[in-house]
Structure 1
Amino acid sequence: MPRPSKPLISRSAAVAAALEIIDTEGLDAFSVPRLAKHLGVQAPSLYYHFADKAELMSAIALHVIGDVSLPRRKPGPDWPEYFVTLGLNFRTGILRHRNAAPVLLEALPRTVLLRRYEDAAQFLTASGVPDHLHVQILDGMERLTLGAVLTEAVRSPSSRATIFPNVDPASQPALARALAANDRTSKRLYEEMIRSFLHGVVRDEAIAAEPSALEA
């Protein structure tokens, strides 16, 4: 579809309006004609800023990610806490836009986040983390945080207050006992999951560096 010669709306206004529709009405309710109507323009006006709907969805995903603040922590031996805080900030930002969570999986290519990954790799270097661990850490953090947070984001309102909903103590006694013994919230479980992963990387690296009993 040809683009108009002059923009009637700004790119940022279109993205903000799209996210507002998704937040309030759900992702299924969103479409380019629906957005155009919301903005009081014709659909072709949107194509001045976006080549197609896919580009618009990518812009929405980037906007959501842009709301995630970076931790203010200097490099050092406690570097895992930087990523714990980053993961928690990511969780807060995504849960602020629950309905848009699936967009991140569908419309946020890893290539557009290379600047952030570069910054994180530089932070790891400055913290003394060996280069050969960086990809394991960065890729693992992406998979862990996206998987955990998006799963939480798409849960129905009725099941958000429980870790495992609808557990029947009669038919799932072990799981029921585990839930009764658990004192961590979803947020705390997520935080400890990140911390366990990162400290596990450090531990495994230390074990691998130790001489075997035969070599000692």
Structure 2
Amino acid sequence: MARPRKPLLSRERIVDTARALVDAEGLAAVSTRRLAAELGVSGPSLYNHFRTKDQILEAVADSVSAQVDLSMFDAADPRDWRTALHDWAVSYRAALTLHPNIVPVLARGPGRRPAGLRLADAVFGAMVAAGWPPAQATSIGALMRYFIMGSALGSFAGGFVDDETAYDPADYPHLGQAHLLAERQDLIDARAFETGLHALLDGLAAQYEHMAGGEGPGRPAGDASTPAEASPGHP
């Protein structure tokens, strides 16, 4: 008896193809017609798996979230909360660097996306387990998300042209070497991310020590958070 034919379509195949399109050409390149052509199927067959293009993009976003390492938040992992946040942030940025065009979808928050929700749950749970009050754990998750997403939305170094005549020293006396930034984009952006990440974590560590010393709940000055706000954020 002949083997049954492998189905032409699956959710995984659709998502993989859509992610490749987003990576190569951006969000605007994704349409059901374009995807059907790339997959070699009729357009209506996509609706057996996804009702709308937005659902496909949500699935692509979640497939990127699923690439982020969460092992540092396991109860058995020996890393302290600061090291865990650092390693997670590095992993998260690495995933976004590979798929920068999907960041605007990810930036909306996890919604109902399973991998995105697991990510938010892991960060919030780990911070509470480390002794942070729930309201502060929410703020930490939001802060980390702002920082990581922002770092992936664009490149500071890539924003300068590589023409040494573009920046007249009469107008920009401190940009004499700016034309060299673009060719060193990856190094400069990675170094800037680490600089900001360490500064951010230093600030959180100072708050944590303040909290542990019994000098208050560890909230920044002027924070009017209440227990009613102590729900998980969406890193």
Q: Does 1:95 align with 2:108?
A: no
* Counterpart position of 1:191: 194
Q: Is the contact between residue 36 and residue 42 of structure 1 (CA under 8 Å) also seen in structure 2?
A: yes
Q: Would the alpha carbon gap of residues 109 and 122 (structure 1) be closer, same or farther in structure 2, given more than 3 Å must change?
A: closer
Offset of 1:210 from its aligned partner?
3.8
| Offset, 1:41 | 0.7
Task: Please give the TM-score of this superposition, normalised by the length of structure 2.
Answer: 0.68
Unaligned 5+ segments in structure 1 are 1-6, 212-216
Alignment of 1:105-184 (within 5 A): 105=107, 109-112=110-113, 113-152=116-155, 159=159, 168-174=168-174
Structure 2 residue aligned with 1:4: none
Matches within 5 A, 1:14-33: 14-33=14-33
Determine the C-alpha separation between the residues in 1 that align with 2:97 and 2:48.
31
Out of 42-51 and 188-197, give the one that drifted further.
188-197
Structure 2 gap ranges (5+): 1-6, 181-186, 217-235
CA RMSD, Structure 1 to Structure 2 (Å): 3.3
Give me the whole-angstrom Cα distance separating, in 1, the residues matched to 2:160 and 2:20.
22
Higher helix share: 1
Provide TM-score, normalisation by structure 1. 0.73
Q: Cα offset for 1:110?
A: 4.1
Conserved? CA contact 1:75–1:124, under 8 Å: no
- Distance of aligned partners of 1:196 and 1:28 in 2 relative to their CA distance in 1, 3 Å threshold: same
Aligned 8 A contact 2:161 2:179 in 1:
no
Name the CA distance, whole Å, in 2 between partners of 1:186 and 1:160: 13
Segment of structure 1 superposing worse, 201-210 or 109-118? 201-210
Distance in 1 between residues matched to 2:120 and 2:44, nearest whole Å: 35
Shift of the 175–111 alpha-carbon distance from structure 1 to 2, 3 Å rule, reads farther
Alignment CA distance shift 1:40-1:178 (3 Å) = closer
Paired AA for residue 103 in structure 1: V
- Return closer, same or farther for 1:89/1:40 CA change in 2, 3 Å cut-off: same
- State the 1:52 CA deviation: 0.9
Aligned to 1:36: 36
Could you list the per-position Cα deviations for residues 156-180 of structure 1 after superposition, in whole angstroms to 9, with x for gaps in the alignment?
Answer: 9x64899xxx655432335669999
Partner amino acid, structure 2, of 1:43: G
CA gap of 1:146–1:38, structure 2 versus 1, over 3 A, is same
Q: Contact between 1:87 and 1:191, CA under 8 Å: does it hold in 2?
A: no
Pairs within 5 Å for 1:199-210: 199-204=202-207, 206-207=209-210, 209-210=214-215
Partners of 2:67 and 2:95 within 8 A in 1: yes
Q: CA deviation at 1:44?
A: 0.8
Query: Is 2:22–2:29's contact at 8 Å kept on the other side of the alignment?
Result: yes
